[in-house]
Amino acid sequence: MKGIKKLIASILMVTLLSTLFVGCGADENSEVSKDATTQGSAASKDTEQDASNQQQTDEKENITLEVYLSHTDVAEVNAAIEAFGKEERFSHITLNVADEMADYDTKISVMIASGTPIDIMSLENPIKMHNWASAGTLLPIDAYLEELSINYSDYFGEAGARASQVQEETYLIPYAQTKWLLAYNKDLFDAAGIAYPSATQPMTMDEYRALAKALTRGEGEDKIYGALQLTWPQFWYAPAILELGGGEAFYNDKGLSNIENPAFAQALQFNYDMQHVDGSIPTYAQAKISQLKAISFMNGKYGMSLLASWALPWFGNEEKYPRDWKVGLAPMPTVSEGDARQTFGVLGGFGIPRSSEHPKEATEVALYLSEKVAEFTKGEIPAYQNYDPDELVGAILANFAEDDVTQEHIKAILLDPKITSVSEKITGINASQYETVMNEEVEKYFVEEQDLETTIANIKKRADEIILMD
């Protein structure tokens, strides 16, 4: 009996100790994938040359690409993946698309950090792309683009190509873009006796403010606000980035924070006045406490709302978001009379992590998927430029069956080539932390605990520290 006890004890001790060596395994793994990566590109160079000789090459081994997307319910992407499965030239590649994940960012971080091979991942917006790229998670794909002879500007336009880069290296393979516009509640306009805004000519920010004031009525819990506003920062800095040309303008030409540019202070003051002087939009405090979301516009208590193109399908979903009022669409307001037409938005798409074992194939497949998303668009504005705009317009229009919205409206608001779209979010070094710091100070300003000058000064000081952090 005693002997057995000793035996059990020693076996368990050994098992115990072996777990301590687990740490070394992690290093091995990462070494292995590094080799695989280099091997991958070396091998693909060979196949490139063979393919260009138009020879029947049997060297196309079957490979599987691990795909982890942040959302698996995007109709266009699923259609693209289906089309991929039928494509002859990709018959040797299988896509293994993982199940829907909760909290994608946390989960994918842990997976990549522990060396799990992932070939294609989602990059939802520029800040995330910057984060991952600066952390060294993503592979720059310029080398593969060269091999595949792909000109990014042809695919995604000049601006799109640039927006997919961090410090001149390309990381993003975009498949969708978003654009912001103005939606309004026609019934509330009728009740206030105000004419509908033009769908082809944008109003100015001052006109937006005046309209909001005119539409506001009632008090307390039944109050109708002139416009919906969330706690998202783009609601207040919209005029600033439209004037200065996009999220890059958060950095001055020395690379430090540009917050002292008067455009930002003006935008802050403008928004503050709408909240506290006009009372035409929910105050920051109210928006936060009531947990206002973009979907709140559907409850019919807001005269207008700035919103993004991804919200348009909601209007067509009678089942989930019933409404008894008609909606109208108008272009994004401009800063001053006679300004060139602008709006802002983000590019979203795929990225190739460093742990990928087949980066060139992954790049090729991702680009293919992006093309197909454009072909099968059901309302997402594609990033890929060659698509049939009438299909897109038709798909979007289907959401507005009873609202008297026309093709011309949609084309004018979203697809007019004369509209420049600038980047919606802070675009540059340590953007994530920059945004956090900015939001913290602005929050204090909006809840009336801090004046404008102090807010700007604090943001400048703290953002500069953050930018200079390595």
Partner 1 sequence: MTKRRKKKNLTAYIFILPSFIAFMAFMVFPMVFSFYLSFTDWNLFGKIADMEFINFDNYAKTLTDDYFKAAITNNLMFTIIAIPILIILAILIAILLNKKIFLRGTIRAMIYMPYVATITASAVIFTVLFHPEYGPINTFLRSLGIVNVPGWTMSSKWALITVILFWIWKQLGYSVVIFLSALQGISRSYYEAADIDGATAFKKFRYITLPLISPTTFFVLITSVIASFKVFAEVQVMTGGGPGTSTMTMVYHIYRTGFEYFDMGYASAVAWIFFVLVLVVTVIQWIGQKKWVNYDA
Partner 2 sequence: MVKNMYKRLKKKNIILSIILLLFSLMMAMPVFWMISAAFKYESEIFDFPIKWIPEYVYLDNFKTVFNDFPYVNWYINTLIVTFFIVVATLLVSSLASYAFARMDFTGKGTIFAIYIATLMIPLEVRIIPQFIVFKELNLIDTHAALILPWLFNGFAIFLLRQFFVSIPFELSEAAKIDGCSEFRTFLQIILPLAKPALMSLTIITFTWSWNSYMPPLIYINSSTKQLISVGITTLRSQYVENFGGQMAGASLALVPVIIVYLLAQKYFVEGVALTGIKG
The residues binding partner 2 (CB under 8 A) are 19, 22-23, 25-26, 70-71, 73-74, 98-103, 106-107, 110-111, 113-116, 124, 221, 290-299, 310-311, 314, 319-322
Angle, CA of 92, 97 and 103, to the nearest 5°: 155
User: Does residue 3 touch partner 1 according to CB under 8 A?
Assistant: no
Residue 22 or 102 with smaller CB distance to partner 1: 22
State in angstroms the smallest separation of the CB of 145 from partner 2: 27
Binds 285, which of partner 2, partner 1, none (CB < 5 to 8 A, cut-off by type)?
A: partner 1
* CA 228 – CA 247 distance, rounded (Å): 23
Among 73, 88, 168, 221, binds partner 1 (CB under 8 A): 221
Number of residues that bind partner 1 (CB under 8 A): 43
Q: What is the DSSP string of 373-438?
A: HHHT-SSSEESSS-S-HHHHHHHHHGGGTTTT--HHHHIIIII-TT-EEEE-S--STTHHHHHHHH
Mention every residue, 6+ apart, whose C-beta is less than 8 A from residue 425: 125, 126, 127, 234, 247, 346, 431, 435
Binds 62, which of partner 1, partner 2, none (CB < 5 to 8 A, cut-off by type)?
A: none
Residue 104 or 387 with smaller CB distance to partner 2: 104
Binds 177, which of partner 2, partner 1, none (CB < 5 to 8 A, cut-off by type)?
A: none
Beta strands in 113-186 (DSSP E): 120-123, 165-166, 169-170, 173-177, 180-185
Among 1, 4, 14, 22, binds partner 1 (CB under 8 A): 22
User: Does residue 14 touch partner 1 according to CB under 8 A?
Assistant: no
Residue 342 or 427 with smaller CB distance to partner 1: 427
Other Cβ atoms less than 10 A from the Cβ of 206: the count is 14
* CA 361 – CA 51 distance, rounded (Å): 14
State in angstroms the smallest separation of the CB of 110 from partner 2: 5
The residue type of 383 is: A
Among 1, 3, 4, 15, binds partner 1 (CB under 8 A): 15
Please compute, for residue 453, the number of CA atoms within 13 A of its CA located in the half-sphere on the CB side: 0
User: Does residue 460 touch partner 1 according to CB under 8 A?
Assistant: no
What is the C-alpha end-to-end distance of the chain, expressed in Å? 62
Binds 3, which of partner 1, partner 2, none (CB < 5 to 8 A, cut-off by type)?
A: none
* CA 68 – CA 154 distance, rounded (Å): 27
Binds 195, which of partner 2, partner 1, none (CB < 5 to 8 A, cut-off by type)?
A: none
> If we measure between CA atoms, which residue out of 205, 183, 209 comes closest to residue 196?
183
State in angstroms the smallest separation of the CB of 126 from partner 1: 15
Mention every residue, 6+ apart, whose C-beta is less than 8 A from residue 431: 126, 127, 130, 131, 247, 250, 425
Among 3, 19, 102, 340, binds partner 1 (CB under 8 A): 19
User: Does residue 137 touch partner 1 according to CB under 8 A?
Assistant: yes
Mention every residue, 6+ apart, whose C-beta is less than 8 A from residue 85: 95
Beta strands in 132-275 (DSSP E): 165-166, 169-170, 173-177, 180-185, 225-228
State in angstroms the smallest separation of the CB of 456 from partner 1: 15
State in angstroms the smallest separation of the CB of 460 from partner 2: 32
User: Does residue 60 touch partner 1 according to CB under 8 A?
Assistant: no
Binds 112, which of partner 1, partner 2, none (CB < 5 to 8 A, cut-off by type)?
A: partner 1
Residue 74 or 330 with smaller CB distance to partner 2: 74
Binds 232, which of partner 2, partner 1, none (CB < 5 to 8 A, cut-off by type)?
A: none
User: Does residue 23 touch partner 1 according to CB under 8 A?
Assistant: yes
Size (the chain), residues: 470
